[in-house]
Structure 1
Amino acid sequence: MRKARVTVIGSLNVDMVTVTSTIPEQGETVQGDRFATLCGGKGANQAIACARLGAEVRFIGCVGDDTFGRMMLDNLQQEQIHTEGVDIISEVASGTASIIVNDGDNRIIVVPGANGLLTPDHIRRHAETIRSSDVILMQLEIPLPAVREALSIAAESHVPVILNPAPAMPLTDEMLAHVSILTPNEHELAALFGGDDSEQAFEWKTAIRSMPGRIVLTRGADGAYWSDTACHLHHQPGYEVNVIDTTGAGDTFNGALAVLLAEGNSMDDAVHGAVAASALAVTQFGAQSGMPTRSRLEQQLKED
């Protein structure tokens, strides 16, 4: 069986991760426990998740002509990801993310850098890559015009698109019409529908059913929810694991979902596998280090 062909269009960041037992107050200095410089970005994370699970992965994005940019390209290539679609932009810094990990959870500040220079023209230059894919996987850490152009090319060629709408923001009806599957968390789902996830008035179950078969909602330790085309709500429970670092859990979920659906698995099986993969990912430090191989995921699924 040939490998699933997944094209990931998105961000590449260097993650500067600080682990601390104490979050500083305004103006306060505290001593951290651990620091690391790691390759990340939602796009790169999702691409590596796909590659580890056995897909043939192509990446479209931008990095700066700097040490971080070269580091991130080398990292993708070591994972056997095709990087012909990555532009190296002169006189612009590569994207960065400052991450504070506390008690297994994280807070993140992203500076887009070269990611903000991904243009519709860049997307058009790689239109054939999009057309020859089994599935396109995107996020929103790149400019919306580039996302819109990729959606249009994929729609013309009947290539399914999985869009992870992160960071949270509203999207036009035209863009949503070209998305095959949306994978928000609860906060992102509320933003898509113009609501507030902190308000009791926002009913996420109703929102899922409003786009039957097209929304897979991730809820952390609670697993994932989705509706079928008959508007029946499904739930895949999460796994009880020793959580070390949640950074990259959602990206692992998206990568696994893309690969498993591209291989022709049912939504039930694909979501089950994606939840299992994300659970494995949080048991190690760093966004990419815990992403499972296909053999490790299959072992976990056999143990269920």
Structure 2
Amino acid sequence: MAEAHTAFFIGDVALDDYFTAERWPGIADKAYVREVKSYVGGMIANAASVHAGLGGRTEFISLLNDSPLSARLCAAMEELGVSTRHMLRDPSLADSRNLIFLTGGEHVVLIIEMGDQPMHLTDEALAALRTPGHLYMSLGRTKRLRAEGLQGRELLADLRRHGRRLILDLDVDGFADGDLDYLHGAEVLIMNQIGFGHAFGDIDLAGINAWMRQNEVGTVIRTLAAAGAEAFDGEGRIAVRGYTVPVVDVTGAGDTFGGALTYALGENLGLSEALELAIAAASRAVTIEGPQGGVASLETIEKFRTEFAGRRS
């Protein structure tokens, strides 16, 4: 098996303050909430932590201020085996926090707005990215990335020429026509059902084959919550069932899926095997409270797969 390369995760990290509520209030309404606990979270940081927990070599880059909270966030990532040596700083930014409310078996996330300042990579970070391996990002951060006067499609093309393979987590937003430059040449696009609908409408996965060829996208994955996930790689559709589990907290399930998928692809597993690992990791994650409930060793995930083998959805 070929040597596994370092995967880069560029995006958000935040302190997630958890609350519970009997119900979610409407406009001009009010409701009582109970403060539960605070966790280190953030969509891309969660994915990076999952990747490291499985044994992957992991680098994480975000743009933070110089506050004690930022130092705490970085220290927590390092404790999980995620390197933050290329972190970017801007003292003018607000602290990175999210407010998460668990109610009605679902979660509502309120994100503290920190702006959309460009993220200028250091020379050291750019040099490290110009090596083979995966790069996992959200679409928003892809638009903000800068290096050596390059940005957008040109910067991503530069990284691809050096063997860096892009995995974009498009989550619930999907993408619009104006985003195509940032998607061009991606190895994998991940969307949930809502995001896929925003991007492509009501269409079967195989119906996007021509779009994928035109934009040189390798694989499109649509996650299906408890039902599992499906992928189309230009040749055929692969469907993987989920697991029936007791749901405690769905926060971070999609991030767990993405981190585990990136690990599996970095280990040169086939797409079907990679999906199986990612689905198992994400299914286990929802049984644990907190955004990093999906952080686990490969051995722990394999034990989960064995225990719940007869409980596929």
Range into which the TM-score falls when normalised by the shorter chain: 0.7 to 0.9
Unaligned runs of 5+ in 1: 196-201
Among 252, 256, 267, the residue aligned to 2:260: 256
Partner of 2:189: 182
Among 135, 138, 152, the residue aligned to 2:157: 152
Q: Distance in 1 between matches of 2:193 and 2:252?
A: 17
TM-score (norm 1): 0.88
Specify the SS of the correspondent of 2:250: coil
Distance 1:18 1:270, change over 3 A: same
Unaligned runs of 5+ in 2: 146-150
Q: Distance in 1 between matches of 2:13 and 2:260?
A: 19
Partner of 1:226: 231
Specify the SS of the correspondent of 2:33: coil
TM-score (norm 2): 0.86
Whether the 8 Å CA contact 2:117–2:144 is kept in 1: the answer is: no
Q: Distance in 1 between matches of 2:28 and 2:223?
A: 35
Distance 1:130 1:290, change over 3 A: same
Amino acid paired to 2:203: E
Distance 1:22 1:172, change over 3 A: closer
| Residues 1:162 and 2:163 are matched in the alignment | no
Amino acid paired to 1:203: I
Deviation at 1:96, TM superposition (A): 2.2
Distance 1:106 1:208, change over 3 A: farther
Amino acid paired to 1:214: T
Give identity over the alignment, percent: 23
Q: Distance in 1 between matches of 2:20 and 2:52?
A: 27
Q: Distance in 2 between matches of 1:126 and 1:209?
A: 35
Deviation at 1:181, TM superposition (A): 0.5
Partner of 1:19: 20
RMSD over equivalenced CA pairs, Å = 2.3
| Residues 1:102 and 2:103 are matched in the alignment | yes
Distance 1:273 1:265, change over 3 A: same
Deviation at 1:3, TM superposition (A): 5.0
| Residues 1:142 and 2:138 are matched in the alignment | no
| Mean CA deviation greater in 146-155 or 247-256 | 146-155
Q: Distance in 1 between matches of 2:300 and 2:98?
A: 28
Deviation at 1:34, TM superposition (A): 4.1
Matched residue pairs, number? 294
Distance 1:122 1:228, change over 3 A: closer
For residues 158-197 of structure 1, what are the alpha-carbon distances to aligned partners after superposition, in whole Å with 9 as ceiling and x for unaligned?
A: 321111014613253332222110001122223334x4xx
| Mean CA deviation greater in 207-216 or 63-72 | 207-216
Partner of 1:198: none
